[in-house]
């Protein structure tokens, strides 16, 4: 992997998309087993509700919309409320659509974010080695109710902690905490395959 | 005494030649487009020329790096940009590196309260603040929310975001690896602006070699560089034209030298034959310089082509002299014929003199002065310097064979007449499709280079500046105010899709008046605090947390106004200088307009909007349209004047020959040549440009000499058979030289050379054949047959 530079901001948001691809059937949570299963999902759709807890604001900022994943590398997050917006990760390219404007940026130009995405890719690909080169990974619980905790090995990373919770083949919640203490919590409801 | 009389012409010739050289040494040669500009251009036409010569567009170079891996390309782009940024030759070097972008964003953020069009008293009222902050909070809900939250306490009204939205309307090129790349990622792209103006081809050539040198030192083995832009085109065209002309010219010179030497058997004669041409060219340039004060490069090129007719004088004279004494009795008739030929050419080119375009008028003067000088040199200098005895090959046997061919041609008259008539009918039927009035006919840039340019331009989102609003103003502030005054009208046109968009210098640097208005719109810290407290009632944001915002606004109220110097180092500086151009007196304001996708600009709607906005001084210029119509007018005038020239030739023949029949014998070959060549071009699917017209003029000038020499032999008993045979050989030799010289040009890959060669080559050959067929008197045929 030659993409070593990272930036952060768009990626906390993409992260849940990648997790959406997970569909684990774990009874006894062995990381390797979970990863192998995660890599198998071909496509998935879900709705989400996201809350951003920002220190300067007295109450969280809430948004909701749809998520979609198509293997191998297309992820889409479409925010419907309170303001429409779409962000799509396709290969290394991120497309952001807001109102009439659309912006295409490359992952390589957002180095913080790139590590993020690469790590998650590694997760999806079941590449535990690559994942563990950037994150300390802890798995907890059972297949029926599992928790995955990621902590960056690099102390300067923009994100200080990621916590995912799932039930069987559903990722239910993704919580991303930033270094400054602000965090976002995304609650995901899987939609049936069409 | 007699030797003095004999030497007098030589002395006069030398004196005039030296005089010409002195004049030429002090002549300024210009290579810009002003040759195509009417003597009294309108504002739009002037604008076109200025843009072509000095405009930003003419200074832009797009560089693409291809081949190798993407990562290696990105690295090469960064290294190349870093190296070029150190070169004085380039005003700006952009490759999309974050550093530049960061500097721009910092500039926008730090100066947001002076730059943002949304700053107004209403926006900073309690209601305005509430609405703006609500909107900002709403934006936090999006995917970029956590990124934007950093701005919240300093910029809760979201001025910076509005600015970025406003300034980055086009989206810009794609980014990868920290640099600009093409849409498919296969090219890394750089955008350079040269210090040298678009008309300074030498400096541009140097800039290109600087780019190539630096690229060579940063590149990896499998990488290539491509370049495009108006400046690159002019350098490439010049190089190609230079290279091809010199190659083809050496080839044809070699051929002609061998041909002439085989007949003359004397290098001295060969050199003497060039005297009239060289003299003509020098005196022609000197005459134009004296008459116009300067000489266009165009005149030099085309004019020298036209007096190329003078090469033939030497051939005619030496070959027809044969092994005789050069001062034989035939001489008088010979010079009478040459004189009539020169007069014919003067009639043909003379019409150009009255042209309203300096380029055409110069061409006329150059040809006339040059031809007269060449003819006088041939008449009075060349014979003085030739050896008393010539040792030429006997050409009479060849002449006899040529005579039989001429006789055959004479018998073919009916066939030729039918052919000419058929072609004339074709021309009449297709009369509206003969000429190509599009300026692209003159474009020496090959198709694939034009395609590459279009590709690179689209990928960079570089402006294809076709439509401009233009106004010349005394100072920068007036320009910025005018730009601000027209902005609402243009925005309205953009909103209803009459326009695709527009750029404005006032977005990058608002006028002082506007900046002061914005400062005045900002409340004092105490007032702002009160209003914020009221505005934020019930909002999740507390006014205490907005200290940084209050400080920023307070600083913005009293800070010095932004000037052009504050933009230094940002991409805005380049953009601003392109729209606010400093001139010798005052400034030019340029507002580029973009057409909506798939639509043309509604010029009428734009003009109405200008009038309504009280900005009638702003002129809407369609650069491509201007160029097209200008060239169209130029071509039309050249055609019209050439027709007058043809009428002049007719009149000359009527006066000097006083016989309808003889006039017809002379005019038919000339008119027939023009008709056949034009029809041939049409049948080949080629529309004619100004270069074809120049080619036709030259064909007529050369052809008139052929016709006159054939005709000279008509007065039975004056020419001996041997003289007539030598005349024939001399005509054939001159013709071969012309046909080879121009025929080779026709093989050129440069369209302008090809057009010229493709006309003159066939034109010269046809005019000889037709002259042989029609200008020869029946008498000569019978004489020959009985001989």
- Write out pLDDT tens, residues B165-180: 766 554 456 777 778 8
Domain boundaries, chain B: 1-30+265-393, 395-454+623-787
Q: Is there a common fold for B1-30+265-393 and B395-454+623-787?
A: yes
End-to-end CA distance of chain B: 45
Cα–Cα distance, B464 to B466 (Å, whole number): 6
Contact status of B492 with chain A (Cβ, < 8 Å):
no
How is residue B647 written in tokens?
């009428």
pLDDT of A102: 67
**Alpha helix ranges (H) inside B658-689:** 660-683
Cα–Cα distance, B90 to B59 (Å, whole number): 9
Contact call for residues B403 and B384 (beta carbons, < 8 A): no
Window 40-99 of B: residues touching A by CB (8 A cutoff) are 71, 98
Contact status of B545 with chain A (Cβ, < 8 Å):
yes
Mean pLDDT across the stretch B558-563?
90
Cα–Cα distance, B787 to B784 (Å, whole number): 5
Report the CATH fold assignment for A3-190: outer membrane lipoprotein receptor (LolB), chain A (2.50.20)
> B251: which residues sit within 8 A by CB, 6+ positions away?
B744
- Whether B227 has a pLDDT exceeding 60, the answer reads yes
| Contacts with A13 from chain B: Cβ below 8 Å | 143-144, 146
pLDDT of A10: 42
3-state helix, strand, coil in chain B (%, to 5): 70, 10, 25
pLDDT of B786: 37
- What residue ranges in B84-217 does DSSP mark as E strands? 90-94, 174-176, 179-181, 187-194
Regarding pTM above 0.80, the answer is no
Lowest-pLDDT choice from A25-39, B265-279, B664-678, B690-704: A25-39
CB contact under 8 A, B149 and A62: no
pLDDT of B287: 94
- Whether B729 has a pLDDT exceeding 50, the answer reads yes
- Top pLDDT among B342 and B713 is at B342
pLDDT of B219: 85
Three-state DSSP class for residue B263? helix
Most confidently modeled range among B474-488, B607-621, B746-760: B474-488
Dihedral pair phi/psi, residue A90, rounded to 5°: -130, 110
Residue B417: pLDDT band (50, 70, 90) is very high
CB contact under 8 A, B140 and A52: yes
Contact status of B145 with chain A (Cβ, < 8 Å):
yes
- Burial zone of B433 (CB within 10 Å; 0-12 exposed, 13-18 middle, 19+ buried): exposed
Burial B750-763 (b: 16+ CB within 10 A, else e): bbbbbbbbbbbbbb
CB contact under 8 A, A61 and B178: no
Nearest residue to B505 via CA among B553, B457, B449, B562:
B562
Contact call for residues B125 and B531 (beta carbons, < 8 A): yes
Mean pLDDT across the stretch B585-601?
78
- Report the DSSP beta bridge partners of residue B190: B63
Reported ipTM: 0.73
| Contacts with B138 from chain A: Cβ below 8 Å | 82-83
Q: Domain B1-30+265-393: give its CATH code.
A: 1.20.1640.10
pLDDT of B679: 95
Mutate one of B146, B537, B545 to test the A interface: name it (highest A CB count within 10 A).
Answer: B146
pLDDT of A27: 39
CB contact under 8 A, B176 and A103: no
Q: How far is B169 from chain A (nearest CA, A)?
A: 8
- Whether B40 has a pLDDT exceeding 80, the answer reads no
pLDDT of A101: 65
- Whether B31 has a pLDDT exceeding 70, the answer reads no
Q: Any idea which residue has 């209003």 for tokens?
A: B531
Contact call for residues A147 and A141 (beta carbons, < 8 A): yes
- Write out pLDDT tens, residues B371-408: 999 999 998 888 888 887 777 788 888 888 888 998 89
Most confidently modeled range among B98-102, B208-212, B306-310, B682-686: B208-212
Residue B80: pLDDT band (50, 70, 90) is very high
For the beta carbon of residue B157, count every other beta carbon within 10 angstroms. Answer: 23
Mean pLDDT across the stretch B43-54?
70
Mean pLDDT across the stretch B127-144?
81
Nearest residue to B775 via CA among B701, B715, B695:
B715
> Over chain B, what is the mean pLDDT?
83
Q: Any idea which residue has 């009204």 for tokens?
A: B157
Residue B687: pLDDT band (50, 70, 90) is confident
Q: Percent of chain B at pLDDT above 70?
A: 90
Mutate one of B68, B139, B145, B497 to test the A interface: name it (highest A CB count within 10 A).
Answer: B145
Options 1.20.1640.10, 3.50.50.60, 3.40.50.300, 1.20.1630.10; which CATH number does B395-454+623-787 get? 1.20.1640.10
How is residue B336 written in tokens?
């009478």
Q: With a cut of 70, which residues of chain A have pLDDT below it?
A: 1-29, 39, 41-42, 71-72, 100-127, 130, 156-157, 168-169, 194
- Write out pLDDT tens, residues B465-475: 678 888 888 89
Among chain A residues, the shortest Cα distance to B165 is held by A101
pLDDT of A9: 38
Cα–Cα distance, A126 to A22 (Å, whole number): 11
Contact status of A125 with chain B (Cβ, < 8 Å):
no
Cα–Cα distance, A186 to B143 (Å, whole number): 12
Contact call for residues A92 and A75 (beta carbons, < 8 A): no
B464: region left, alpha or beta (phi > 0 left; psi from -120 to 50 alpha) = beta
Contact call for residues A171 and A45 (beta carbons, < 8 A): no
For the beta carbon of residue B496, count every other beta carbon within 10 angstroms. Answer: 10
CB pairs under 8 A between A and B: 87
Residue B783: pLDDT band (50, 70, 90) is very low
Residue B325: pLDDT band (50, 70, 90) is low
Nearest residue to B581 via CA among B197, B250, B204:
B197
CB contact under 8 A, A61 and B545: no
pLDDT of B577: 80
- Write out pLDDT tens, residues B608-649: 888 888 888 888 888 777 777 878 888 888 898 889 988 998
pLDDT of B328: 63
Long-range contacts of A84-90 (CB under 8 A, 24+ apart): A85/B142, A85/B143, A87/A10, A87/A13, A87/A14, A87/B143, A89/A14, A89/A17, A89/A117
Cα–Cα distance, B326 to B389 (Å, whole number): 8
Mean pLDDT across the stretch B702-708?
89
Nearest residue to B711 via CA among B783, B785, B778:
B778
End-to-end CA distance of chain A: 35
Nearest residue to B478 via CA among B511, B514, B515:
B511
pLDDT of B678: 95
Cα–Cα distance, A174 to A191 (Å, whole number): 17
Cα–Cα distance, B632 to A76 (Å, whole number): 54
| Contacts with B70 from chain A: Cβ below 8 Å | none
């Amino acid at each position: 992997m030659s993409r070593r530079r990272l930036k952060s901001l768009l990626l906390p948001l993409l992260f849940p998309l990648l997790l959406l691809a997970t569909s684990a059937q774990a009874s006894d949570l062995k990381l390797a087993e979970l990863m192998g299963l995660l890599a198998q999902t071909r496509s998935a759709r879900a709705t989400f509700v996201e809350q951003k807890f920002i220190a300067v604001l007295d109450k969280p900022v809430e948004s909701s919309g749809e998520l979609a994943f198509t293997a191998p590398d297309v992820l889409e997050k479409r925010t419907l409320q309170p303001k429409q917006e779409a962000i799509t990760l396709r290969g290394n390219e991120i497309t952001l659509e807001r109102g009439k404007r659309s912006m295409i940026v490359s992952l390589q130009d957002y180095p913080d974010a790139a590590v993020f995405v690469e790590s998650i890719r590694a997760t999806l690909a079941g590449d535990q080695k690559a994942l563990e080169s950037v994150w300390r990974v802890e798995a907890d619980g059972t297949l029926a109710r599992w928790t995955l905790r990621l902590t960056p090995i690099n102390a300067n990373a923009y994100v200080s902690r990621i916590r995912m919770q799932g039930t069987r083949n559903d990722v239910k919640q993704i919580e991303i905490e930033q270094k400054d203490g602000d965090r976002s919590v995304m609650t995901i409801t899987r939609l049936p395959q069409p | 005494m007699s030797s003095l009389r004999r030497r007098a012409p030589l002395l006069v010739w030398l004196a005039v030649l030296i005089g010409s050289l002195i004049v030429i040494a002090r002549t300024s040669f210009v290579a810009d487009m002003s040759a195509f500009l009417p003597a009294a251009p309108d504002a739009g036409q002037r604008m076109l020329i200025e843009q072509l010569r000095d405009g930003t567009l003419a200074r832009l170079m797009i560089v693409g790096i291809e081949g190798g891996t993407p990562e290696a390309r990105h690295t090469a782009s960064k290294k190349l940009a870093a190296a070029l940024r150190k070169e004085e030759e380039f005003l700006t070097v952009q490759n999309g590196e974050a550093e530049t972008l960061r500097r721009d964003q910092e500039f926008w953020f730090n100066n947001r309260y002076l730059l943002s069009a949304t700053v107004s008293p209403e926006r900073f009222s309690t209601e305005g603040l509430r609405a703006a902050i609500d909107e900002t909070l709403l934006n936090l809900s999006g995917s970029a929310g956590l990124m934007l939250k950093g701005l919240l306490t300093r910029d809760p009204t979201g001025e910076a975001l509005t600015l970025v939205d406003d300034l980055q309307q086009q989206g810009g090129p794609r980014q990868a690896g920290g640099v600009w790349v093409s849409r498919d990622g296969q090219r890394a792209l750089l955008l350079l602006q040269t210090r040298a103006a678009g008309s300074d081809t030498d400096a541009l050539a140097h800039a290109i070699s600087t780019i190539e040198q630096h690229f060579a030192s940063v590149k990896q083995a499998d990488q290539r560089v491509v370049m495009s832009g108006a400046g690159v085109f002019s350098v490439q065209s010049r190089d190609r034209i230079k290279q091809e002309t010199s190659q083809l010219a050496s080839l044809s010179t070699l051929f002609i030298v061998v041909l002439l030497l085989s007949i003359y058997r004397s290098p001295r004669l060969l050199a003497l034959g060039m005297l009239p041409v060289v003299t003509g060219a020098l005196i022609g340039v000197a005459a134009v310089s004296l008459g116009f004060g300067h000489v266009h490069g165009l005149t030099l090129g085309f004019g020298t082509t036209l007096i190329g007719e003078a090469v033939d004088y030497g051939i005619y004279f030496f070959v027809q002299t044969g092994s005789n004494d050069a001062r034989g009795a035939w001489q008088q008739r010979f010079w009478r014929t040459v004189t009539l030929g020169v007069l014919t050419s003067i009639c043909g080119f003379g019409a150009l003199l009255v042209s309203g375009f300096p380029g055409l008028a110069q061409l006329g003067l150059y040809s006339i002065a040059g031809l007269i000088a060449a003819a006088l040199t041939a008449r009075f200098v060349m014979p003085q310097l030739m050896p008393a005895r010539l040792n030429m090959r006997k050409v009479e046997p060849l002449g006899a064979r040529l005579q039989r061919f001429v006789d055959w041609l004479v018998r073919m008259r009916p066939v030729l007449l039918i052919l000419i008539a058929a072609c004339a009918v074709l021309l009449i039927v297709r009369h509206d499709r003969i000429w190509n009035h599009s300026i692209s006919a003159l474009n020496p840039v090959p198709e694939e280079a034009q395609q590459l340019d279009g590709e690179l331009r689209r990928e960079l989102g570089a402006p294809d500046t076709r439509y401009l609003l233009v106004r010349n103003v005394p100072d920068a502030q007036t320009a910025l105010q005018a730009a601000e005054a027209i902005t609402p009208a243009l925005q309205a046109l953009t909103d209803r899709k009459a326009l695709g968009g527009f750029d404005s210098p006032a977005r990058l640097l608002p006028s002082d008046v506007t900046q002061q208005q914005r400062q005045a719109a900002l409340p004092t810290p105490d007032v702002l605090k009160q209003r914020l407290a009221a505005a934020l009632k019930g909002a999740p944001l507390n006014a205490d947390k907005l200290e940084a915002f209050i400080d920023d606004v307070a600083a913005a109220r009293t800070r010095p106004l932004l000037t052009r110097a504050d933009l230094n180092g940002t991409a805005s500086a380049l953009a601003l200088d392109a729209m606010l151009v400093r001139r010798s007196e005052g400034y030019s304001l340029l507002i580029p307009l973009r057409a909506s996708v798939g639509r043309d600009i509604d010029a009428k709607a734009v003009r109405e909007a200008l009038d309504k906005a009280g900005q009638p001084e702003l002129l809407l210029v369609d650069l491509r349209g201007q160029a097209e119509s200008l060239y169209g007018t130029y071509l039309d005038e050249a055609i019209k004047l050439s027709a007058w020239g043809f009428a002049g030739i007719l009149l000359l023949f009527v006066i000097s020959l006083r016989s309808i029949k003889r006039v017809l014998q002379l005019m038919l070959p000339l008119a027939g040549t023009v008709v056949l060549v034009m029809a041939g071009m049409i049948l080949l699917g080629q529309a004619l440009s100004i270069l074809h017209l120049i080619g036709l003029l030259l064909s007529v000038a050369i052809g008139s000499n052929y016709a006159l020499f054939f005709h000279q032999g008509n007065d039975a008993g004056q020419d001996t058979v041997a003289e007539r045979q030598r005349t024939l050989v001399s005509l054939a030799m001159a013709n071969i030289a012309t046909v080879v010289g121009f025929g080779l040009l026709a093989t050129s890959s440069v369209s302008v050379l090809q057009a010229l060669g493709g006309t003159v080559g066939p034109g010269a050959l046809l005019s000889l054949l037709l002259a042989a067929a029609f200008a020869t008197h029946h008498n000569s045929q019978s004489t020959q047959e009985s001989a």
